[in-house]
Amino acid sequence: SNVCVTEKFIEMFRFSVAVFGRGVAKRFSSSFPAEGALPPNLQLPANLVDPSRLKRPPPPADCPLPLLRRCEAVVPAHLSPMQTWVESLQMEDGEPLGRAELHPDVFGVSPRIDILHDVEKWQRNYKRISYAHTKVRSEVRGGGKKPWRQKGSGRARHGSIRSPLWRGGGVSHGPRGPTSYYYMLPMKVRVQGLKVALSFKMAQDYLHVVDSLHIPTPDSQYLLDLIRRRHWGESVLIVDVAEEFPENILQAASDLKKVNLIPAIGLNVHSMLKHEAVVLTLETLKFLEDKLLWHDQRYTPLYPFKLPYRDFP
Amino acid sequence: MALTSQLRAALVHIHAGSSAAGLRSASSSSPQQQNPALIESTEEFVFVERLIAPSRIPDPPKHAGPAPSGWTPPAETPPPLPYMIRRSRMHNIPVYTDLTHGNRKMTLVRKVEGDIWALEKDVKQFLQELTGKDMPTQVNEVTMTLKIKGHFDQELKSWLSSKGF
């Protein structure tokens, strides 16, 4: 859209001004503007949107709103829980209802894009089976007889009409499918990928917490207006613990391509990267923290975790 | 919990009614007619539950100072340094040795948080006082680990535990 193009243009221009301004500042200090300042003859459209001023800043320490959710798990002594707003979907332009605490070991881990890349690549490839298959010279029909005698005919020597040199012959080093690209990353790497993705969403202000998913109408336009009003982003992923979602939001999101609902067990790195904003409910926060923090303090499996354990989360 | 309810349903312990004659003849009819005092009880399931393996590593018991094995608990409050080294999941200090190519000795300090360069400076100073030589170190800011040439795991472990990590 026009807004995105102009935003990118502004960012590119700011970057180029900063880069070139620094190098050439010594020689042409009078003609170039200060670093970061825009040139005077730049014409900006009237409806230009600055994303950094749109979203609500994180709650300050002395916020009067109540703390609706505390961290149940033990937070390490040298870290403190992070806080976000808890909003409601009942009204399009509602103020936040309260604050929620988030565990720093789930929502504040170090930004490992290499782990994100590994997990995303794994998610794409472990299901892949490539069915490409070519025939080798022994599998192509025919070609058992020597076409002409070895010496004396004047032509090049050949042993079969289906060798890879011949038209219609077999492929010497082609795909020999079906090939499977299945592999498993270690469980802890996949868990860390989820934590890193959630931390990235939190750090980039794309994570929103909602008390419940009840909306007043099953109208898709209501959801779109709500997302547009609150500047959540282009695409939204809504996560809830329960398998059953309220009827209204199911119907509203069923027609929308960019708003999707998933249960909390279906949360994965690819979906989180695909959608710009992620909306969690308070129960989802508890579920995710329980499941993801258990991996930090578990034994190595004595028998598969599918079998019963005493204190499995 | 779902576990106990499923297993209780599957493994109901049946008490035989206490009758005078414990033996029954093979030609007897169904037990209900023989022994009407059959009691189903699930109280003994506790003994089965105790045998199922735990999945979480328990917290170590409170020790005032070092334990008889030599293990020292971390300090109550984290030390006021710009970096923090967490304990491993078995509550040990995350310093490990590595030997590659048969002769390359390395020491690895993992699970560092905060200013890793300050830790590197302190480690270099400590090893300078220990050995008198400047040991080469490698800082990996992505994985937040510190590699040192040579085997110094015991010295580094005691140094870190004395700091309170």
Could you give the C-alpha distances from A132 to A126, A135, A176, A180, A181, in angstroms and in order?
17, 10, 7, 11, 13
Shortest Cα distance from A44 to chain B (angstroms)?
A: 39
Mark yes or no for CB contact A302/B56 under 8 Å: no
Task: Count chain A–chain B contacts defined by CB atoms under 8 A.
Answer: 50
Question: Which comes out higher in pLDDT, residue A172 or A53?
Answer: A172
Task: State the residue for tokens 């923290």.
Answer: A289
* Residue, of B93 and B19, whose pLDDT is higher: B93
Q: Which residues in chain A touch residue B78, judged by CB atoms under 8 angstroms apart?
A: 77-78
| Mean pLDDT computed over A215-228 | 94
Give the CA angle between residues B12, B18, B23 to the nearest 5°. 95
Query: Taking CB atoms and an 8 Å limit, are B55 and A112 in contact across chains?
Result: no
Measured in degrees and rounded to the nearest 5, phi and psi for residue A194 equal -65, -45
pLDDT-based confidence at residue B18 (cuts at 50, 70, 90): very low
Smallest CA–CA distance, residue A118 to chain B, in Å, is 14
For residue A148, the tally of other CB atoms under 10 A from its CB is 13
Domains of chain A by range and CATH?
63-124+184-297 (3.40.1370.10), 129-180 (no CATH)
Is residue B3 within 8 angstroms of chain A, CB to CB? yes
Residue of B nearest to A310 (CA): B54
Tokens of A151: 């010496």
Interface confidence, given as ipTM, is: 0.77
- Exposed, middle or buried, A286 (CB in 10 Å: 0-12/13-18/19+)? middle
pLDDT score, position A2? 54
Q: Looking at CA atoms only, how far is residue A187 from chain B in angstroms?
A: 15
A108 neighbors A82 (Cβ within 8 angstroms): yes
Beta strands in chain A (DSSP E): 67-69, 82-87, 98-102, 129-130, 179-180, 207-210, 236-240, 259-263, 277-281
Mean predicted confidence (pLDDT) in A200-210: 95
Q: Do A312 and B84 touch (CB under 8 A)?
A: no
- Domain parsing of chain B, residue ranges: 83-163
- Average model confidence (pLDDT) for chain A? 88
pLDDT at B27 > cutoff 70? no
Shortest CA gap A300–chain B (Å): 8
Find the residue in B nearest to A300 (Cα): B55
* Buried/exposed code over A269-282 (b: 16+ C-beta within 10 A; e: otherwise): bbbbbebbbbbbbb
A99's enclosing H/E stretch is strand A98-102
Distance (Å, rounded) from C-alpha B85 to C-alpha A76? 12
Residue A208 to residue A84: CA distance in whole angstroms: 8
Contacts of A294 in chain B (CB under 8 A): 55-56
Judge whether B165 and B74 are in contact, CB under 8 Å: yes
CATH class, B83-163 region: alpha beta
Interface test with A, best of B1, B46, B55 (most A CBs within 10 A): B55
What would the pLDDT profile of B122-155 be if each residue is shown by its tens digit? 999 999 999 999 999 999 999 999 999 999 999 9
Q: Which of A110, A112, A309 sits opposite B54 (nearest CB)?
A: A309
Place of tokens 């790195």: A269
Q: How many CB atoms lie within 10 A of CB A300?
A: 5
Q: Do A297 and B86 touch (CB under 8 A)?
A: no
Residue A76 at interface with chain B, using a CB cutoff of 8 Å? yes
Percent of chain A whose pLDDT exceeds 70: 88
Is a pLDDT exceeding 90 seen at residue B21?
Answer: no
A307 close contact with B: CB closer than 8 A: no
Distance from the Cα of B23 to chain A's closest Cα (Å) equals: 37
Instruction: Give the chain B residue whose CA is nearest to the CA of A298.
Output: B56
Angle at A106 between CA A311 and CA B122, to 5 degrees: 110
Q: Provide, as residue numbers in chain A, all residues whose Cβ is less than 8 Å from the Cβ of B3.
A: 308-310, 312
CA atoms within 13 A on the CB side of A178: 7
B54 CB neighbours in chain A (<8 A) are: 299, 309-311
pLDDT at A52 over 70: no
pLDDT tens per residue across span A67-97: 999 999 999 999 999 999 999 999 988 889 9
Cβ contact A76–B3 (<8 Å): no
* d(C-alpha B162, C-alpha B85), whole Å: 13
Q: Judge if the upstream peptide bond of residue A178 is cis by omega within 30 degrees of 0.
A: yes
Average pLDDT over residues B75-84: 94
Structure tokens at A231: 């500047």
- In this predicted structure, what is the pLDDT of residue A6? 53
> Residues 51-110, chain B: which have Cβ within 8 Å of A?
52-57, 76-78, 84, 86, 89
Minimal CA separation from A109 to chain B, in Å: 10
Q: What is the pLDDT of residue B19?
A: 43
Q: Quote the minimal CA–CA distance from B88 to chain A in Å.
A: 9
CA atoms within 13 A on the CB side of A274: 14
pTM (2 d.p.):
0.81
Q: Which of B16, B17, B8 is nearest to B46 (CA)?
A: B8
Q: How many residues does chain A have?
A: 313
